[in-house]
Amino acid sequence: MEERANIMVVDDEVGPRESLKLILKPYYNVITVEKPTDAIAMLDHVPVDLVTLDLKMPGLSGTKVLEKIKQHDPDIEAIIITGYGSMDTAIEGLRLGAFDYISKPFDVNHILTLIRRALQRRQAKMELKNVKSEFLANISHELRTPLSVVIGFVSILLDQLLGQLSEQQQKILERVYKNSGELLELVDNVLLLSSLNAGDLTLLNEAFDARVMLDECVKRYENLVRDKKITVNIEAPEKLPTMGDRAKSARITQNLLHNAIKFTPDGGNITLKLRESPEQGMVELDIIDTGLGMPEQQIERLFQPFQQMDSSIRRQFSGLGLGLTVARRLTEFLGGSLQIKSRRDVGTHVRFTIPQEPAPQNVVARHTV
Amino acid sequence: MTKILIVDDNLDNQEILSRRLQLAGNFQIAVASNGKQALEIAAVIKPDLILMDLRMPVMDGYEATRALKQTEWGKNIPVVAITAYASREHMHKALNAGCCDFIAKPILDYALMGRKIRALLGMEEPQRAPHHFQAA
């Protein structure tokens, strides 16, 4: 048996609201709402597949409500009900993503047909979304599996579980290990970017310690830092309890730190400053390197995927420049911001700020990025 | 001796895990290549711990874990999901199926994995107290 779809009827007039409810009740679960503002608030608490909207309502105008609903979840279908044959508002509604419109007084069969078709479209969209996210999960699994075999066996050799290695063997295997690690990060970043593009990421809200997270990220690159004789200074409180998405915050930190290490010459310095931001409820991380730096106009370009400064530098430093794009997109996803200040040959200062506790509507809402 | 069952359809992963586990403690190790085989072997050897891959042919790790937890003899055997799936959704799915922990492949920190496993087996941490805890 198919599950009944949930329909929200938004109309400030009690007559049409209740009659529509009577029409739909035999086939669907119906919630009626009088005030548009209540409709938006309710989306956080009840699952809604389709909304019928009277566009001529006091307070928030009908089109504003539609805009808000689509912001909340672009896959919620909407049918506009116009009380006064105004084509303009109907067209505006369609432009904002409504499925169709119908004029009052409407024919019962007509509205039932419209609703059925709108729900079919939603169903198809949801199925496509599932296929997409399943595909991404499978690709991720398939790419990580052989990589885990490479990393697993190399680490067995490196830890000398199968006998002692010569110095040269040890050095070569360390390079294999390091490059496998780079490939793993690349795979993770490409997949993350695809998930962001597919609108297939969920925001988590969990308690974690931002200091511990930072230390773990630094530990991940300890070999790289040692090889390049880079000094990493950490200025951070002993503990920084935070609410938010730990894994995504860690990914942003790793990408920024990895970039800083990559562009800092041997023997340079990287300073990490973690603190509660003066802006209330924000956590702020400064990543200051003594790397190449870059001119102002290059910074915006750097946010584009696959861009590094110019071809000469691209030859000097490997990589797709993907890390920064993913960092920026993820920061936006978390409701934070990323600022970059840089001076050629002096270094780069990246400030990454995320809310310490995301606003509740961000947690429930499904984002399309 | 403590018995650990490794379930993974990838023979290379089976070998990597076995070699690592032999170092993490004095374990007797058995291997299975899918969930169905895992249940058959587990019913006979009654392992103390199962390391379970999730995506496998014939019967996947979720189904095998759920089936194990239905049995009288198997419901208390701890199952750790070890998988190349890296997302939170898969982690929750594994925990819902009855796994008690989740480790993503590739495993980058074998020391941590060893500690988790010893903790689940109720074994003591090896004698490696930090300096400041050592008696003067």
Residue among A140, A155, A204 whose CB faces B86 most closely: A140
Confidence (pLDDT) at A314: 47
Residues of chain A found within 8 Å of residue B23, distances taken between Cβ atoms: 161
Taking an 8 Å cut-off on Cβ atoms, the answer to whether A148 and B90 are in contact is no
Which of B19, B23, B87 lies nearest to residue A137, judging by beta carbons? B87
What does the DSSP 8-state code read for residue A81?
A: E
Q: What is the pLDDT of residues B12-71, one digit of tens each?
A: 999 999 998 887 778 899 999 999 999 999 999 999 999 999 988 999 999 999 999 999
DSSP letters for A226-285: HHTT-EEEEE--S--EEEE-HHHHHHHHHHHHHHHHHHSPTT-EEEEEEEE-SSTTEEEE
Q: Which of A149, A159, A161 is facing B12, going by the closest CB pair?
A: A149
* Residues of chain A contacting residue B108, judged by C-beta atoms under 8 Å apart: 151, 181, 220
pLDDT for residue A29? 93
* CB nearest to B105's CB, from A148, A204, A247: A148
Report the percentage of chain A scoring pLDDT > 90. Answer: 23
Q: Tell me which residues of chain A have a C-beta less than 8 Å from any C-beta of chain B.
A: 137, 140-141, 144-145, 147-149, 151-153, 155-156, 159, 161, 180-181, 184, 188, 202, 204, 220, 247
From B41's Cα to the closest Cα of chain A, the distance in A is: 24
CA dihedral A136, A67, A87, A121 (to 10 degrees): 30
The number of C-alpha atoms within 13 Å of A176 and in the hemisphere containing its C-beta is 18
Greatest Cα pair distance, chain B, in angstroms, is 58
A194: tokens are 């695809």
Query: What is B20-67 written as a DSSP string?
Result: HHHHHSSEEEEEESSHHHHHHHHHHH--SEEEE-SS-SSS-HHHHHHH
Count CB pairs under 8 A between chains A and B. 60
With CB atoms and an 8 Å threshold, state whether A148 touches B108: no
CA nearest to A177 within chain B = B108
Closest residue in A to B85 (Cα) is A141
The predicted structure's pLDDT at residue A360: 47
Tell me how far apart the alpha carbons of residues B31 and B82 are, in angstroms, rounded to a whole number. 14
A148 chain-B contacts, CB cut-off 8 A:
13, 84, 105-107
Query: Which pTM value belongs to this model?
Result: 0.69
In chain B, residues with a C-beta closer than 8 Å to the C-beta of A188 are 86
Q: Do B90 and A137 touch (CB under 8 A)?
A: yes
Q: Indicate yes or no: CB of B106 within 8 angstroms of CB of A202.
A: no
Both tokens assigned to A80: 């506009």
Q: What is the mean pLDDT of chain A?
A: 82
Distance CA A200, CA B127 (A): 45
Which member of B16, B83, B88 has the closest CB to residue A202?
A: B88
Task: Give the rounded distance of the alpha carbon of A193 from its chain centre.
Answer: 9
Sequence-separated contacts (24+) of B113-119 with Cβ below 8 Å = B113/B20, B113/B24, B114/B20, B114/B23, B114/B24, B114/B25, B116/B80, B117/B4, B117/B21, B117/B24, B117/B25, B117/B49, B117/B80, B118/B24, B118/B25
Q: Is B81 helix (H, G, I), strand (E, B) or coil?
A: strand
B84 and A148 within 8 Å at the Cβ level: the answer is yes
pLDDT of residue A79: 92
pLDDT in tens, A2-20: 678 999 998 888 888 899 9
Q: Do A188 and B55 touch (CB under 8 A)?
A: no
Q: Which domains does chain B have, with CATH numbers?
A: 2-126 (3.40.50.2300)
Q: Give, in order, the Cα–Cα distances in Å from A10 to each of A13, A15, A28, A103, A206.
A: 9, 12, 15, 15, 34
> Tokens 């209740």 map to which residue?
A18
* Closest alpha carbon within chain B to A216: B109
Spatial distance between the Cα atoms of A256 and A322, rounded to a whole number of angstroms: 11
Distances (CA, A) of A40 to A199, A334, B135: 21, 21, 63
CB A210 within 8 A of CB A274: yes
Least CB-CB distance to B10: which of A145, A155, A188?
A145
Q: Please give the pLDDT value at position A316.
A: 46
Which residue of A lies nearest to B90 if distances are taken between CA atoms?
A: A137
**ipTM, 2 dp:** 0.81
* Segment (H or E) for A211: helix A210-220
In the sheet that holds B79-83, the strands lie side by side as B27-32, B2-7, B49-52, B79-83, B101-104
In whole angstroms, give the CA distance from residue A321 to residue A255. 10
Predicted local confidence at residue A363, as pLDDT: 41
Closest CA–CA distance from residue A153 to any residue of chain B (Å) = 6
The model's pLDDT over A332-363, given as tens digits with 9 standing for 90+, comes to 888 888 888 887 777 888 888 888 765 444 44
**Closest B-chain CA to A183:** B106
Q: What is the reported pLDDT for A366?
A: 36
Cβ distance of A188 and B13 shorter than 8 Å: no
Rounded Cα distance between A291 and A314, Å, is 15
**In B, what residues contact A, Cβ < 8 A?**
10, 12-13, 16-17, 19-20, 23, 55, 83-90, 105-108, 110
- What are the distances in angstroms from CA A338 to CA A246, A329, A362, B54? 17, 9, 18, 37
pLDDT of residue A313: 47
Residues of chain A with pLDDT under 50: 1, 308-310, 313-320, 359-369
Average pLDDT over residues B99-109: 86
Sheet of A77-82, strand order? A29-33, A6-10, A50-54, A77-82, A100-103
A347, A326 contact by CB (below 8 A): no
For residue A147, the chain B residues in CB contact (below 8 A) are 106
